[in-house]
Amino acid sequence: MSTAFSHDEKAHKQDAVRVTEPFAELVAASNYSFLRGASHPADLVARALELGLAGIGIADRNTVAGVVRAHIALRDAHKAAAEIGVPPPALRLVVGARLVFADGTPDIIAYPATRHGWGRLTRLLTLGNLRANKGDCTLHLADLLEHLDDLLLIVMAAPTDAPVLHTLHAAAPNRVWIGATMPRQGADRRRLARMMRLAEATGVPLLATNDVLYAAPEQRPLHDVLTCIGAGCTIANAGRRLEANAERHIKPPAEMARLFADFPQAIAQTTALLARIAFTLDDLRYQYPLEPVPEGWEAQAWLEHMVTEAARDRYGRELPAKVRKMLDDEFALIAKQKYACYFLTVHDLVRFARTRDPPILCQGRGSAANSIVCFLLGVTSVDPVTHDLLFSRFVSEERAEPPDIDVDFEHERREEVIQYIYQRYGRHRAGIAATVIHYRPRSAVREVGKVLGFSEDVTARLTSTIWGSFSSSMAEQRYAEAGFDPDNPDIVRLRDLVDQILHFPRHLSQHVGGFVLTEDRLDETVPIHNAAMEDRTFIEWDKDDIDALGLMKVDVLALGMLTCIRKAFALMRQHDLGEHDLTVDLEADDPAVYDMLCRGDSIGVFQVESRAQMNMLPRLRPRTLYDLTVQVAIVRPGPIEGDMVHPYLRRRSGIDPVEYPSPAPPHDPDELKTLLGQTYGVPLFQEQAMKLAIVAADFTPGEANHLRRAMATFRNVGTMHNFREKLVKGMTARGYTAEFAERCFKQIEGFGSYGFPESHALSFARLVYVSSWIKCHQPAVFACALLNSQPMGFYAPAQIVRDVREHQVEVRPIDINASGWDNALERDGHGRLALRLGYRQMDSFRNAWAEALVAARAEIGRFTSVEMLARRADLPSAALRLLADADAFGSLGLSRRQALWEVRRTPSGELPLFAAARAREPLVSELGDEPDMQLPIMPASEEVVTDYQTLRLSLKDHPMTFLRAGLREDGVLSCEDTNNSKAGKTVRTAGIVLVRQRPGKGNAIFVTIEDETGITNIVLWARLFERYRRAVMASRLMQVEGVLQRSREGVVHLMANRVVDRSDLLATLTATRGDGAITPPLARGDEVARPVPSRHPRDARVLPKSRDFH
């Protein structure tokens, strides 16, 4: 059967010749209309540019969260045009929101015509946001009518919506349009005719639009998938919930003209509306809050005065020339950019924290430490004069970005600072920045897989091969690893869609602590939302948006170590060990502290406590604060992946000569010497890598800045590869070896994920020193403070307690007549400090119970019976049982078993009626005598196991002790014996698993095991891992056979050949006398074995990656 097709001569081919009317697409939803729009805002702008539109309007569902991205995209296009010297694109971007109502009003797209209109729109959205639950926005037509000023409205009306049009037309004459579409639904022309009649009847003009959901028709499958995710259905049974066709993309003006041939005026209206809008996001002239300054002072002058006074205090009345110059430079820039109030704000926060009683410890981090003003204001603690830090790395003119000062506060008390900010500026002037939660490989695979009809198990299997949640791409290999054929059509489709949906925004969440403050109403700049956390509100722009618009942000962050240090200082004060603050003894560079670190004795110390850091300490042998700075920065993926660690160590220890790669003449052969002098010619810090690009590869500062941004936003865009060629070419052109250039690039790439700027490392190094100093001189204080600050850090309480006992500190058990909620310090007979465990170490025990107990004890001095405790402290039986289980009745002479038997029959609390009367009488037991139950004595092994079950640690013994005899018979060495064996010897050892790690590329697996004599570090190659996977992953008690390796610095590793899971031995510690059918295991042994530090997301990014992997 053949069909003929011919062009109809008579058909008017209108569009070919005629000059098309300019058209602006004014109804476009980006992917910030979550699960509705299927294109990034930038892609919509790019497509509009490509098609030569007169304008594009981005309007997302009840939000303006995506508009800044579009704004940046157009600004970049202008910049790019300027760079290559072509006229800027004619496209105009207008931004607004699509108002979706809860009362049946048709959707209305609102564009502010002026800055004032923008404020009305954001106020309106804020109203809807705060009225609704998190993530929702509830609007009514009446709300819009109250916020109509300077808003232009496009009503997506149906032919029957005349009443609402009349209302709006009356309220906002000449500011209302009817959005008309030609969606290819069959009756389009008839519908358009009806809309024309509606327009005539209401006097509201028609405006042509395509009600865009994505940039190009190819994105229809993606849009369908998003629709299905939203509807919770699969693509196969989504039916008519999907769009019937792929028409809702941006169409070229000619196509739109053809579609609206019946009513060309509708096209003309688009440019008419466009012409009425004067507002752009650049008009958000930001007014930072004016900080109060003393009468007669300007902010800038006051800041200069305060800083200069502080400088004179520090450096003497006559300021050194260097300081004078630094101050002048900074003051000039601050004055020029009008940042004075910002610095005053941060100063005020720090002042607030320090004047609390007791003071909240705080310290600036990040690049703010480059600023002498920050230092003299007490925000940061590193003196830029002595460390030669450059202010321009913090703020510079060409970067045109506001400064970003991050301050860490004690993690337990940060909320006080946050509430102070809200209280001081008010919720209408202060808000936390948003964090856009994007689709990550895991979530993308799971949700797209579900839509395509994959079972949950299959998607779980696919996602389980993605290590960590920050992997930025779903490499083909991952699919193969999961046992799927990467060429299978279903997998191809899944991968294709996952690639598209990756980095799509999913929802907004609050930033960890970045505050945006304004002088005027914040909600007239950006809409505000309720956060999931009580008492928190956040704005809907994230860090990048804020930077792009020049808003200033103060980061109020939480750091567990500051809590620990403050608690340690408090303990020292309490026990007459002196007054200390964060500057403790820093100048001294105490050799004892460094000796301790060089031994790798750093459990609990800030930053350098991970296994990788511990292994590095004896090799790097830090002796000064700057060495600690290097130590902090070097065990990071940047230097490791750039292969900079070994060269640094070899040069430092004098094995390799220190040399600086030189460019070919005519360039200065020593150009790198100044740059890399302090680090033996090896770039270790972020700034060095940046400077390297400028000096050695001829990057302009602007390009280097791009590079810096690419590094900072590595997770959002894979733009790093763009710089590779430029860097390597630039360096080789100047005569560097290609190999060196490659290494530099690798390192810069690594910094993209995890790198430290020098100033940040310096700030952290100080905390390393302070925490080491406390640990070195007051191990009991340090352990006590660390335990009282949990959860934080890398180690579980068991390891902290073990460590402090190894430092000859007595640790005393929990006891009803001695303990409080917190762990505490007691003096022993010789005046030495001993650590008394507190009730907080017990699982499920409550602070209120502890307080009641301590209060009752204070009143009567000492409990003499279980009954007395129950009555006087009014404890419920659950609390008594927990105390008995934790063996806390030792001072009554009761064993754990006796106590447990006793509390089970003790009635809890006391009837209030009798309480008062009895308070004056001696306690008479009401419990009758009982027949002796002749309970068997609890064996020591069971005591230890029960300790682990209730406290997650035991002071009595290590579980391995009880297995030692049997293990010795099997030829299994203790950890101590293993570590003392000859290098190269094959040994067999066993212990409780503390942590399993698979860092970096996963070539090796690191396992740390522990027994009663110490710990052994095990390395297992990936090849063997596959063979022993089950044993490695399931073992709580692991037996390993391998070859002992000892590095020159004495670091010992056991290179495993064979791994056996001996967890069954643990069961024998409590075996019943029956036939062994039940085996109560170390119920929480696995958690003892696998500390899962619950960290602050921000900290997690900065601390070395450590995790038990899957």
- Token pair in block for residue 40: 């990034």
Instruction: Give the closest residue to 709 by CA, choosing from 542, 593, 547, 861.
Output: 547
**x-marked contacts with another protein along 424-453 as a string, rule CB under 8 A:** ----------------------------x-
Query: 754 — alpha (psi -120 to 50), left (phi > 0) or beta?
Result: beta
Task: Provide, rounded to whole angstroms, the least separation between the CB of residue 229 and another protein.
Answer: 14
1078, 1072 Cβ separation under 8 angstroms: yes
**x-marked contacts with another protein along 563-592 as a string, rule CB under 8 A:** ------------------------------
Angle subtended at Cα 238 by Cα 232 and Cα 244, rounded to the nearest 5 degrees = 130
17 binds another protein, rule: CB under 8 A: no
660 binds another protein, rule: CB under 8 A: no
Give the residue with the Cβ less far from another protein, 495 or 1095.
495
1092 binds another protein, rule: CB under 8 A: no
57, 111 Cβ separation under 8 angstroms: yes
Residues 472-531 close enough to bind another protein by CB under 8 A: 483, 489, 492-493, 496
Q: Which of 3, 355, 808, 844 binds another protein (CB under 8 A)?
A: 3
Residues 298-357 close enough to bind another protein by CB under 8 A: none
Max Cα separation, the chain?
A: 116
Burial class (CB in 10 A: 0-12, 13-18, 19+), 526: buried
Beta-bridge mates of residue 1020: 1005
867 binds another protein, rule: CB under 8 A: no
Residues 177-216 close enough to bind another protein by CB under 8 A: 184-187, 189-190
Give the residue with the Cβ less far from another protein, 628 or 880.
880
Site residue total, another protein (CB under 8 A): 73
Angle subtended at Cα 251 by Cα 249 and Cα 255, rounded to the nearest 5 degrees = 140
11 binds another protein, rule: CB under 8 A: yes
1033 binds another protein, rule: CB under 8 A: yes
Element (H, E) at 112: strand 108-112
Q: Which of 84, 86, 87, 240 binds another protein (CB under 8 A)?
A: 240
Q: How far apart are CA 602 and CA 600, in angstroms?
A: 6
Beta-bridge mates of residue 408: 363, 557
Q: Which of 65, 235, 326, 870 binds another protein (CB under 8 A)?
A: 235
Q: Which of 322, 325, 862, 905 binds another protein (CB under 8 A)?
A: 905
**x-marked contacts with another protein along 596-615 as a string, rule CB under 8 A:** --------------------
**x-marked contacts with another protein along 990-1029 as a string, rule CB under 8 A:** ---------------------------------------x
1 binds another protein, rule: CB under 8 A: yes
Task: Provide, rounded to whole angstroms, the least separation between the CB of residue 51 and another protein.
Answer: 15
Burial class (CB in 10 A: 0-12, 13-18, 19+), 12: exposed
Task: Provide, rounded to whole angstroms, the least separation between the CB of residue 446 and another protein.
Answer: 11
Give the residue with the Cβ less far from another protein, 3 or 808.
3
922 binds another protein, rule: CB under 8 A: no
Give the residue with the Cβ less far from another protein, 489 or 912.
489
Q: How far apart are CA 694 and CA 726, in angstroms?
A: 11
Instruction: Give the closest residue to 835 by CA, choosing from 800, 793, 884.
Output: 800
Q: What is the DSSP letter of 959?
A: G
**x-marked contacts with another protein along 937-976 as a string, rule CB under 8 A:** xx-------x------------------------------
Task: Provide, rounded to whole angstroms, the least separation between the CB of residue 876 and another protein.
Answer: 14
What are the start-end ranges of the H helices in 284-403? 299-315, 321-337, 340-355, 372-376, 384-387
224 binds another protein, rule: CB under 8 A: yes
Residues 718-737 close enough to bind another protein by CB under 8 A: none
**166-167-170-174 Cα dihedral, nearest 10 degrees:** -70
Which region, judged by CB under 8 A, interacts with another protein, from 169-177, 231-239, 325-333, 966-974?
231-239
Task: Provide, rounded to whole angstroms, the least separation between the CB of residue 471 and another protein.
Answer: 16
Residues 140-179 close enough to bind another protein by CB under 8 A: none
926 binds another protein, rule: CB under 8 A: no
934 binds another protein, rule: CB under 8 A: yes
Element (H, E) at 812: strand 811-812
Burial class (CB in 10 A: 0-12, 13-18, 19+), 647: middle
Q: How far apart are CA 96 and CA 109, in angstroms?
A: 7
The helix/strand/coil state of 1009 is strand
Beta-bridge mates of residue 110: 97, 153
Task: Provide, rounded to whole angstroms, the least separation between the CB of residue 224 and another protein.
Answer: 8
Task: Provide, rounded to whole angstroms, the least separation between the CB of residue 10 and another protein.
Answer: 8
Which region, judged by CB under 8 A, interacts with another protein, from 315-323, 593-601, 1038-1046, 1070-1078?
1070-1078
Task: Provide, rounded to whole angstroms, the least separation between the CB of residue 500 and another protein.
Answer: 12
Q: Which of 81, 201, 244, 332 binds another protein (CB under 8 A)?
A: 244
457 binds another protein, rule: CB under 8 A: yes
Instruction: Give the closest residue to 787 by CA, choosing from 564, 565, 581, 1010.
Output: 564
Q: Which of 271, 392, 464, 719 binds another protein (CB under 8 A)?
A: 464
Task: Provide, rounded to whole angstroms, the least separation between the CB of residue 939 and another protein.
Answer: 9
Residue 64: count other Cβ atoms within 10 Å of its Cβ. 24
1078 binds another protein, rule: CB under 8 A: yes
Which region, judged by CB under 8 A, interacts with another protein, from 764-772, 843-851, 933-941, 1043-1051?
933-941
Residue in this structure with the two tokens 């704000």, named with its chain if needed: 345
Write b or e for each residue in 274-299: b if 16 or more Cβ atoms lie within 10 A of its Cβ, otherwise e: beebebbbeebebebbebebeeeeeb
Residues 664-723 close enough to bind another protein by CB under 8 A: none
Write b or e for each residue in 916-929: b if 16 or more Cβ atoms lie within 10 A of its Cβ, otherwise e: eeeeeeeeeeeeee
Q: Give the amino acid at 1109.
A: F
Q: Which of 21, 406, 822, 1061 binds another protein (CB under 8 A)?
A: 1061
- Token pair in block for residue 826: 């007691």
- Token pair in block for residue 763: 């700030």
Q: How far apart are CA 451 and CA 134, in angstroms?
A: 26
1080 binds another protein, rule: CB under 8 A: yes
Task: Provide, rounded to whole angstroms, the least separation between the CB of residue 687 and another protein.
Answer: 40
131 binds another protein, rule: CB under 8 A: no
Q: Which of 221, 550, 669, 909 binds another protein (CB under 8 A)?
A: 221
Q: Which of 356, 985, 1030, 1101 binds another protein (CB under 8 A)?
A: 1030
Task: Provide, rounded to whole angstroms, the least separation between the CB of residue 1020 and another protein.
Answer: 14
Residues 1036-1055 close enough to bind another protein by CB under 8 A: none
